[in-house]
A and B are shown apart, each in its own frame.
Chain A
């Protein structure tokens, strides 16, 4: 690099630039925080939803599935599974039956373990996935297949 551009100048760009853009990042984070209650329907964040999130976490569901596109890519997206599998009336009974059927035991097919969840736990997961499906995700996913 040319001699007119000194190490001191490079250092100043590093310190000044990183601090400046980190402060902008904090300001944008503050703005995002203000939008979370509305975008995520925080008013409907019930105890059942929070319990469902814990069941989701303590069985490592993210190790195979994606949720809002994040996670493993081995099993279907579940951010919109509420709409895909029955919606308001059908989703809860569907999930209860589906969880009891696992593993399906089809040779060669990707298999989901039997997690031995109680009916209450499955209901809580259903509430969690229902709540998650209503988060304003800027229109993602493109279609109901997730």
Chain B
């Protein structure tokens, strides 16, 4: 930050860069462990016992959560100063928290890989406040406390920036979403001995994140990028944003009930959860209409066509992944047969990629050329590479979803639909799904290739900038 970057409105926005870079490194790790699991699905004892499936899965899902958190934080450090129209309260704190979070993240992942999980629980004194061993919340309690501290420091930093600066709808919605993220994470410390109650409040973290406050974060990031790349009137964009997040919370909060069908909670959730979650595709549909109409009514032709593609692409993929694929199995009579099958995995993959991986890459696509001092956009050749990466990753994820959906349908028929005596046991059922799992692995390799293509596009940008540094300065 010693040299002024002419492409940033405020110099302190530069703290976003290490967050984005580290997020993408973790993303690469996530996909590598995804490939390991894809192989374990077809060759059951692959890498056993060095990396058992449960370890690979824990690394895969935890890397996802952490890289998205890095992406959200980077996004906030980039857009909050610009929206608040002032420098970040403390760039130094942002950098310190980056290193704390990165170190905690790396240590936790190494702990998963190098120590048996029970040993990690002993080592970190899980017995003092047992929170480990629940899906997605596998982190040692000390790591969870570290996450809370990092979040508090982060919220303080952007909160002070916001308090002292201009308050726009985009920044207030972003802030609300991030506060909600921190607040609902606190439920990860509540681990009652009654399994039914444990599961019920576990969803207060997981569902109220991804189908609640994270949609606020996604909406705010999308609105920010659309304002920047289309020049459309802020009033119009902010009205849309309110409509989207209103629909998200009105359907999504009680929509949590679609997870309460079969875990011991009251049967009122069968009706309530079905009705409200059936409406959960609406905010995602609104996002599609919002993105496409805003780009159509644009007041300027932005040179970053890759960012425009990401902004449109994330809404469409989220609509299909979270909206349509969620609706497919959200009604209680359907979910009775599909709950916890490969259909759940199909939905999870397209939803997380479409809504959250892609919105982070949308913001990275818009902000990174500026953060790197290249200007509004990377050169044509690297944008073309980035767009190749977009299509390879997105189409591969669609294929993964379709193959897992096929596997899920066959699994439900063989294992769930048939009566006792005819229904196949789980281990016999998976034998019949091998073809779909091989095809899914192939699509996973395609995704990996797309990710490499995407990452390679950054290298090209650097080289292009060195070649023609003067090209970005207008005369």
Contacts and interface: CB of A to CB of B under 8 A. Distances in A.
Given A40-B264, A69-B340, A76-B427, A111 B44 contact: yes
Interface in B224-250: 235-236, 238-240, 242-243, 245-246, 249-250
Nearest to A19: B249
B193 A141 contact: no
Interface in B406-445: 415-420, 423-427, 429-430
Contact of A75 (B138, B415, B426): B426
A136 B133 CA distance: 23
A76 B425 contact: yes
Interface string B343-379: 0110000000000000000000000000000000000
B7 interface: no
A10 B244 CA distance: 9
B256 interface: yes
Contacts of A135: 195-196, 263-264
Interface in A19-53: 21-22, 24-25, 28-29, 31-32, 35-36, 39-40, 42, 45, 49-50, 53
Given A137-B262, A140-B262, A13 B246 contact: yes
A110 B45 contact: yes
A71 B262 CA distance: 13
A111 B45 contact: yes
B43 interface: yes
Contact of A143 (B245, B339, B419): B419
Interface stretch (B15-23, B52-60, B94-102): B52-60
Contact of B239 (A7, A22, A67): A7
Contacts of A93: none
Interface stretch (B146-154, B267-275, B447-455, B460-468): B267-275
Contact of A31 (B169, B261, B266): B266
B249 A14 contact: yes
B246 A10 contact: yes
Interface in A96-129: 103, 106-111, 113, 115, 128
Contact of A61 (B133, B200, B417, B423): B133
A28 B272 contact: yes
A45 B193 contact: yes
A58 B126 contact: yes
B344 A144 contact: no
B413 to A, nearest CB: 12
Given A5-B239, A62-B133, A140-B262, A72 B254 contact: no
A62 B134 contact: yes
Given A40-B195, A62-B133, A111-B44, A11 B344 contact: no
Nearest to A68: B263
Given A54-B130, A58-B121, A103-B48, A63 B268 contact: no
Interface in B33-67: 40-41, 43-45, 48-49, 52-55, 57-58
B262 A138 contact: yes
A142 B53 contact: no
A60 B420 CA distance: 29
Contacts of A146: 415, 426
A146 B307 CA distance: 45
B316 interface: no
13 contacts: A1-B243, A10-B242, A40-B196, A53-B193, A62-B135, A63-B53, A64-B57, A73-B345, A106-B45, A107-B45, A108-B43, A137-B262, A142-B336
Kindly list the 9 A-B residue pairs having the minimum CB-CB distance in the complex, ordered from nearest. A63-B54, A57-B133, A69-B340, A10-B242, A110-B44, A140-B262, A14-B246, A18-B249, A76-B426
Given A49-B193, A59-B118, A63-B58, 15 more contacts: A13-B243, A17-B250, A39-B266, A40-B194, A40-B264, A57-B130, A62-B54, A63-B135, A66-B340, A72-B54, A76-B427, A106-B45, A110-B427, A113-B52, A140-B261
